[in-house]
Amino acid sequence: MVKYTLRRLIQAIPTFFGITILSYLLMTAAPGGPVGALAFGPKVTPQQRERVAAQLGVNDPWPLQYARWLIGDDWMRFDKDGDGVANEPGDRLGILRGDFGRSFLQRRPVWDLIVERIPATLELGLASLIIGLVLGIPVGVLAAVRKGGWFDTSTRILAVVFNAVPVFWLGLILILLFGSILPNWLNQLNPTVFPSTSPILPMGGRCPTDLLSGCPPLHERLNYMILPTFVLATGFIAVYSRFMRASMLDVFSQDYMRTARSKGLSTGQVWFKHGARNALIPIATFLGPTITGLLSGAAITETIFSWPGLGRMAVGSVVGLDYPVVMAVVILSAVATIFGFILSDILYALIDPRIRFG
């Protein structure tokens, strides 16, 4: 297993560099640019635009920009001021040395911005993933056991509905329901018990914005997580339940399942100990990328509910053409995906002892 993991890590190196080159090419080929966003105005002269481009380092050919972004600029001299004269070497170390540059819009190191938002993204993503696994896998098992029954039919319909409904639409409907419709209806139903028409649940944010000491512990702000977690978890539940059902139906026809029944084992042991463990192998195919892909954040959900995570930051950076932040999120997502597929292969061996890698 160790040799296989090391070999996969070595094979991932050219994949990583290919992703960086392709991503940087797409970024430089995109219409517009940070200069137009930062130096917009009728009184801005072409000379001022060129100076801004030189300060940002986006006026050089893309191979030179890519090299400076990848390995830093402390090894070269370039025109920092836009006056046509090469100045002293730069002070960037490059992404290979942990430096993602500075944000064009916020004028702060990109890595500091990412570190600030990783806890919020992991908090929301892990909560949704855990709920998806805890509910999706048992639902899939029970749907396969009761194939053709009312439980199987209803769960399949709900899975299709949750897969078909767009995340942004579901989020907006929940905000409208818990923020306006349900409070007004309860107030009209019984004004004494429900005297207020204020939202039942917070409509956005991670915690109250009027706190000076930052967000309180998680258990004191669970109400802020209910709506965004539910929106994200519905997709996980739908996918895992459908895959688990299909995998369990295939497992039920295997000889070892009939052998387990003939030995007199209980129904729970046959379903979960012998059946579910082998049925989890297809789930491991996308579980690894899902776990590590949580770092990239759920951009739509975080934007709708004003959740201060990586996804919301990435959307704002794309709109504002903040290239360093966008590229940092892309690279983190790529690295997470690469490690996710390696993690999937490791999960294969953990779930099924028959699988071994030479």
Residue-level pLDDT at 58 = 66
For the residues of 298-336, what is the DSSP string, one character each?
A: -HHHHHHTT--SHHHHHHHHHHTT-HHHHHHHHHHHHHH
Q: Return the minimum-mean-pLDDT range out of 64-73, 117-126, 236-245.
A: 64-73
Looking at the chain, how many residues does it have?
A: 358
Determine the average pLDDT of the residues in 67-90: 61
CB 50 within 8 A of CB 81: no
Separation in Å, CA 349 to CA 79, 85, 237, 275, 286: 54, 59, 24, 16, 15
CB 151 within 8 A of CB 145: no
Residue 171 has pLDDT above 60, yes or no: yes
Q: Which pLDDT band holds residue 34 (cuts at 50, 70, 90)?
A: low
Distance CA 271, CA 265 (A): 10
Residue-level pLDDT at 75 = 59
Q: Which pLDDT band holds residue 88 (cuts at 50, 70, 90)?
A: low
CB 245 within 8 A of CB 143: yes
Nearest to 92 by CA among 74, 111, 65, 109: 74
Nearest to 246 by CA among 136, 143, 131, 352: 143
Determine the average pLDDT of the residues in 119-143: 88
Determine the average pLDDT of the residues in 348-357: 66
Determine the average pLDDT of the residues in 282-297: 70
For the chain, which domains are there?
Answer: 11-97 (no CATH), 113-351 (1.10.3720.10)
Q: Return the minimum-mean-pLDDT range out of 35-39, 171-175, 207-211, 263-267.
A: 35-39
Residue-level pLDDT at 90 = 57
Determine the average pLDDT of the residues in 116-129: 88
Q: What is the mean pLDDT of the chain?
A: 79
Separation in Å, CA 333 to CA 121, 289, 337: 13, 10, 6
CB 234 within 8 A of CB 128: no
Share of residues in the chain with pLDDT > 90 (%)? 2
21 forms bridges with which residues in the sheet?
none
Residue 247 has pLDDT above 70, yes or no: yes
Q: Which pLDDT band holds residue 346 (cuts at 50, 70, 90)?
A: confident
Q: Return the minimum-mean-pLDDT range out of 35-39, 155-159, 336-340, 352-356.
A: 35-39
Residue 85 has pLDDT above 60, yes or no: no
Residue-level pLDDT at 29 = 73
Distance CA 173, CA 162 (A): 13
pTM beyond cutoff 0.75: yes
| 150's tokens | 């009312």
Determine the average pLDDT of the residues in 114-130: 88
CB count within 10 Å of CB 344 equals 19
Separation in Å, CA 102 to CA 109, 241, 328, 355: 4, 43, 10, 46
